[in-house]
Amino acid sequence: MYATFVFAMFFTTKASAFSSTALRRGLNTSIEQFYNTTEPVWTYRTRAPASFNLSCLVDVTVNTTLSDLYFERSFYSNQTRVKTSLRRLLNKAHTHRSSKTLVYDAMRPIYEQKDPLFVEELL
């Protein structure tokens, strides 16, 4: 039993030595691969300004095409629940290798939107 405890303690120490960025780069996961799931994707850490007061941010993929990934984003902002439909523009030139994506309002045609709402990046 003591050997099991020492092994578990060693494994935990070694596993925690990795940063999330180093671990993700080691797996070389792309945006397309990361969001290719029917499971909700919870955001643990965001670069959004603290003034946004975001919590419980979750994305659920609705549909994926060759160029777009449609999803619903739900979160709390200043204790108010917000749900919005968004679209990630997938990088066709670097399919399965991109770590960044542009995010647009899914309810408006892409040609009407001059600029993306924001850029997302897997860390």
Residue spans of the domains in the chain: they are: 27-121
**Residues 119 and 103: beta-carbon distance below 8 Å:** yes
pLDDT at 29 over 50: yes
Report the pLDDT value the prediction gives residue 49, as an integer from 0 to 100.
79
Residue 73 tokens, joined: 């984003």
Closest by CA to 84, choosing from 65, 101, 103, 71, is: 71
59 compared with 90, residue with greater pLDDT: 59
123 compared with 58, residue with greater pLDDT: 58
> Percent of the chain at pLDDT above 90?
17
> Percent of the chain at pLDDT above 70?
67
Mean pLDDT computed over 59-83: 90
Burial class (CB in 10 A: 0-12, 13-18, 19+), 8: exposed
Report the pLDDT value the prediction gives residue 116, as an integer from 0 to 100.
82
